[in-house]
A and B are shown apart, each in its own frame.
Chain A
Amino acid sequence: DTGVSQDPRHKITKRGQNVTFRCDPISEHNRLYWYRQTLGQGPEFLTYFQNEAQLEKSRLLSDRFSAERPKGSFSTLEIQRTEQGDSAMYLCASSLSNSPLHFGNGTRLTVT
């Protein structure tokens, strides 16, 4: 069990650029979640997948955000035309159905 892996750990980008993050869940886990956390706040839900199906999306997930999990294994989160307000820690978690969530180390995004 290698845990949930996220890449990259840090990303600095200029406003207006597109960025993509990757998450590799624990291998047998069928659910994969994306959260966003800003300073001083708890993680906020963005979206989750069960296998390859995206079952729930938050209203926080604007049209500039898209997430995929094409084969029910790893997932990508893309942010188009980044804005300074997108600067945050992006956290990925996985679980086996309704079992506990396990989080990765996160990707810290800074938009300049």
Chain B
Amino acid sequence: GIQVEQSPPDLILQEGANSTLRCNFSDSVNNLQWFHQNPWGQLINLFYIPSGTKQNGRLSATTVATERYSLLYISSSQTTDSGVYFCAVRGSTLGRLYFGRGTQLTVWP
């Protein structure tokens, strides 16, 4: 299967700070998604980004498929950004998404 590595595993920020989360993957992919898991366990779609750059408010993401990595940028972080951020990828021939272990983000007021 495809290996997905996320870094850092934990990130603690003060409100207002910026951060970058990284996702490396071991094979070519046709689907890459970033999720935010809230304290109740719900996985919320942030981006569907198999390649290129997208922005949504304070969040943006970039995937460089040829180099097998993706970055999630969070600017002007807020306490509501706290939670676990997951990167998940799907290979070209399979249906399943492979998840990384996530980055636990804590934003303090």
> Which residue of B is nearest A102, CB measured?
B45
Interface residue tally for chain A (C-beta within 8 Å): 26
* C-alpha spacing A51/B31, complex, angstroms: 20
Q: For residue B4, which residues in chain A have a CB less than 8 angstroms away from its CB?
A: 42
Interface residue tally for chain B (C-beta within 8 Å): 23
* C-alpha spacing A100/B88, complex, angstroms: 10
**A77 in contact (CB, < 8 A):** no
Q: A101-B33, A103-B42, A105-B41 are in contact. Are A42 and B95 (CB under 8 A)?
A: no
Pick the interface stretch among B12-20, B52-60, B98-106.
B98-106
**B86 in contact (CB, < 8 A):** yes
> Which residue of A is nearest B101, CB measured?
A42
* C-alpha spacing A33/B42, complex, angstroms: 15
Q: For residue B41, which residues in chain A have a CB less than 8 angstroms away from its CB?
A: 37, 89, 105-106, 108
Q: Are A42 and B102 in contact (CB under 8 A)?
A: yes
> Which residues 57-109 of B sit at the A interface, judged by CB distance below 8 A?
86, 88, 90, 94-102
Shortest distance between the CB of B54 and any CB in chain A (Å): 12
Q: Which 7 A-B pairs have the closest CB atoms?
A: A42-B99, A100-B48, A103-B43, A45-B96, A43-B99, A48-B95, A105-B42
**Which residues from chain A sit less than 8 Å from chain B, CB to CB?**
31, 33, 37, 40-45, 48, 50, 55-56, 58, 89, 91, 93, 98-103, 105-106, 108
